[in-house]
Amino acid sequence: MTASDHGGVELGLGIDTHVPTSSALGHLVRSGANAHPQVSPTQPSPTTPHTTIATMSPPRHTIFPPWCPADWQPQNDSLRGGSSTSDLIVAGHGNSAIFFGALDSKTLGGAGFASVRTTCIQNWDWRGYSGIELGIREHLINNPKKYTLVLKNELPYDDEHHSPTDWKKMETSTVSFEYTFTAPHKSDRDVEIIFLPFSEFVAYYRGRKVEPPPELDLGHVRRMSFMVRSFFGDKEQEGPFSLEIFSLAVVKEGG
């Protein structure tokens, strides 16, 4: 699987990755054609659990890049008998990551999903920040998808004391905080910057909204995931998908 000169990914599915697209959701704050964030040599690797504290910190703090494939692992509806697939590959010498695969919306009756999640248990402290800024590019612009960024405060297990079989069984047993977005774009060469306010992340438990909703604890963020799902019958949420992610940063309001 390779990335093209313009960030397109060859999925081997006979789909033209460079076709005009539809409108987008989310909070668009600004865009830049052919933008490509650079890796800071002082940026700590996310493979090592660490605490990122917002107190006395700059208005914008970069979480990714650098991107490393070992920091992410797929988690798909195959856990429930589905056939969706996903993976994350690194492009641009670690400056971007491509989340791609194929979403199956039929096997589970509209409940299909494909995702990648961070492998290490983190302890991000984002207090004082107002949201997440993403630099993204949709590759399959003739068939764009809705994507979801998922944050977790609690995990049902400790990676060091449970086997992969354990986490496959227990992963959905804690509350997830989710924000769904699409990638706004003018062409498949544009990198767009969108803003995801923490105040608009929605709490879910086993696929259902939690009422009354708990508050996202920004001082104790332990995991994040990128997900695409079928939304129970949305005909556009099916088939191949490919989203390139250039940067993920927490930002302060007005920063």
Give me the CATH number covering residue 145: 2.60.120.430
Residue 64 lies in a domain: yes
Residue 5 lies in a domain: no
Q: Which of 30, 11, 241, 6 is nearest to 141 (CA)?
A: 241
Residue 232 lies in a domain: yes
CB atoms within 10 A of CB 45: 11
Mean pLDDT of the region 157-176:
58
Structure tokens at 197: 């306010």
The model's confidence at residue 196, banded by pLDDT at 50, 70 and 90, is very high
Q: How many domains does the chain have?
A: 1
Mind listing the pLDDT tens digit for each residue in 107-157? Answer: 888 888 999 999 988 899 999 999 999 999 999 888 889 999 999 999 876
Mean pLDDT of the region 11-38:
36
Asked if pLDDT for residue 242 goes beyond 70, the answer is yes
Residue 4 lies in a domain: no
Alpha helices by DSSP H, listed for 196-242, are none
∠ Cα 163 166 170 (to 5°): 150
Residue 56 lies in a domain: yes
Structural domain containing residue 74: 27-39+50-251
Residue 16 lies in a domain: no
Residue 149 lies in a domain: yes
Amino acid at 54: A
Residue 8 lies in a domain: no
